[in-house]
Every structure is written in structure tokens, then in C-alpha cells.
Amino acid sequence: MQNKGGDPICPYDCTKGAETMLLDLTNPEARTWYKGVIKENMLRDGHGGWMNDFGEALPITGISLHDGSDPLEFHGRYPEEWAKLVQEAIAEENMQDEVVFFSRSRGLKGPSYSPVYWQGDQLPSWDDKDGLKSTITGLLTAGLSGMSILHSDIGGYTTTNYPGTKCSYSRSGELQRRWAEASAFTSAFRSHEGTYPPGSHQVYTDADTIRHFSYFAKVFAAWQPLRKALMIEAAATGLPIARPLLVHYPELPQAWSSDTQWLLGDTVMVAPVYDEGGISRSVLFPTSEASRVPGMPCGGNTTWVHLWTGKEYCGGHVATVAAPIYQPPVFYDLISISGLEFAEDMRRAHLIN
């Protein structure tokens, strides 16, 4: 890629003393060269996956692309071409069933090429602007926009430390734990040390955190059968793994404003703690006329069973649920086969009684 004066374009200055260039993905020779880099340095070197970062920073003016494309138009396509290039390299090595990569940026057709997405670089904070709560918003809205398989860096990423200002962010042990609890019920479970590892609590900082992280890694592994079924459904229909309540309860007015809890399919519900110091939270328990079963508990409304204690909650109500560390509010439908199998998978892994 060149600017109109003929000099290379360098939109990034990521490290001192290093130039980083943006590849012109309209140039066949450039694509072939970079696929060779991936094959030689990643696939043939034994890597089973990687973060396929960036892709969103193509300049929209002041450059000329190899095939004459309008930079403004190609800016939106660049992320999908970036993922497509990687997909092609993997396919050319016949390693489609052996390698997975995850992307940050996407274009309109991006999910056709990137198997997994993550939400980028959140702050290690609790807030709804760029912290833990924002990842729930992102999970639900992106899921409705075609990013069916999505996750975030557990604990956030961008550690900053400017003494005496409000611009200092570092991950606490509590935030690390609560973020892991939420992430255990998304499409991927992956930690990140962040921009300044010594300045943030890590999964390995102390024995309690290691124990907690290990437990929820096992929780994530335990519901693999349901996750696999939902991924097959996502591939066939585009439905996200994590769904806003409104997807399955559109007639319930509160479902349209519920933005801090989600469904895995239609029979498991997650309502994580996202407030610092929180030991309980308010949970909306949905139900619908279509799901009514006369003669069953709760007057025929959906009965939601608390995963950790077995306590039952009737659909059609809002209730405050205790949520100590190790017990994020998670529920399953009492009479659904997939919900009961979800709970049984947890018992089989010795995670609940």
C-alpha cells in the first residue's frame, strides 16, 4: 500500500524503534506472501491457534490500493478480507479441523471467515463504558448483529497508571474472579495478562485466584455438549450462543430492556455479578404463555432452578438472588431436556451436588 506520494503507509506506531505496515489486501502477491508467512511461522511450527488482531485501521483517504478500490469502501471490507486470508492459508494446508483463530474487527461478511470473535481491549474496570458491564452489552448486541461466537479478555486488558488522576486502571482480585465467572458462560474462556502485568491481579497471583480460575475453567469445559449444539445451531441459523431474553420472550416487555443477563439457547439463563462488592443481584425470570404447562409448579409458568443451590424461582417475577463468589446467578429450566442435561453435566464433573 502506498500513499499518493509513493511512500509506504504506516498507520501504526506500536513499539519504539519499530515500523509496522498495513498489508494491501487487494494485491494478490501481498496475499500470497503473507499466507506463506502464516504457513511457515504458525501452521508448520505447530501452533493450534492465535489472536488475529487489528484489521480496522485502513486509512480512508490519502492512499491508493493495488486494484484501484476506493479506500473508504474497502475500509469496511478490510477486516473480512484479513480473516479470509487466514482462513485460506489454513485451508491450503488442510488444517481446518486443527486450527482456530479469533478476530477483533469485522466487516459485513466477517463471520463467514472468522470462527471466533473477541471484544477487543476493555479496561480492567467494572463500568458500562469499557469495563466488565460493557462486555455484557457487547455480547448481546454483537450477537444480534451476526457475531454468534464471541468472548472477552477475562479481567480486561488496558492497564493504565497515572498517579493522581482518574485515568488509572488496574485489575483487582475481585474483578478477575467476577469476570471469569461471567466468561465461563460465553463461547470462549481465555485470560489476558494485560498491558502491564505487574500492575494487575493475574490468574496466577495467589492460590485463591488459581483455585477459582481452575474451577470456572472446569465449569466452562463441563457444558461443552450444550455449547457444541448451540454452535451447530449458530452455523445453521446465525443465532448467537449468548442470547438476549427478547429472542425467546419477545412478548415480555421487560425482556426488551434487560441488558445484563442472557440465555444459552432457551433453557439456561446467566445473570452475572458486575458491580464491585456485589453479593447479590436482581434477576428477571422470564416466562411466556407458549411455555405454560398446566399442573406444574409455579402455576404452569417456567420454573427456573438455581444451578448451585437447587432453589426454584417462578417465571414472571423479578427476585433478588444471593451471589457470593463461586455462585454467579445461573439457572436452568426445570422441565427442559437440554437444561436438565446441562445440570447433569455439571454434576458429572463434580462441580455441583
Q: Supply the residues annotated as catalytic.
A: 53, 56, 121
Three-state secondary-structure class, residue 251: coil
Sort 341 into a burial class: Cβ within 10 Å, 0-12 / 13-18 / 19+.
middle
Cα–Cα distance measured from residue 2 to residue 22, given in angstroms and rounded to the nearest whole number: 10
Report H helices in 173-263. 173-183, 207-222, 224-237, 245-248
Rg of the chain in Å (alpha carbons): 22
Cα–Cα distance measured from residue 138 to residue 145, given in angstroms and rounded to the nearest whole number: 10
C-alpha grid cell, residue 192: 489476558
Which are the contacts of 213, defined by CB distance < 8 A and separation ≥ 6? 176, 180, 191, 203
Give first-to-last CA distance, the chain, whole Å. 59
Residues β-bridged to residue 285: 317
Three-state secondary-structure class, residue 94: coil
Cα–Cα distance measured from residue 124 to residue 172, given in angstroms and rounded to the nearest whole number: 8
Look-up of cell digits 437440554: 338
Residue 323's nearest CA partner among 215, 190, 181 is 181
